Amino acid sequence: MMSNDELEQEIDRAISDFENIKTIIRGDSDE
Please give the Cα distance from 25 to 20 (Å, whole number): 9
Please give the Cα distance from 11 to 17 (Å, whole number): 10
Give the pLDDT confidence score for residue 25 in this predicted structure.
Answer: 92
Give the pLDDT confidence score for residue 1 in this predicted structure.
Answer: 77
User: Tens digit of pLDDT per residue, the chain (31 long)?
Assistant: 779 999 999 999 999 999 999 999 988 665 5
Instruction: Kindly provide the b/e burial profile for residues 4-16, where b requires at least 16 CB atoms within 10 angstroms of the residue's own CB.
Output: eeeeeeeeeeeee
Give the pLDDT confidence score for residue 6 in this predicted structure.
Answer: 97
Give the pLDDT confidence score for residue 31 in this predicted structure.
Answer: 58
25: Cα separation from own chain's centroid = 14
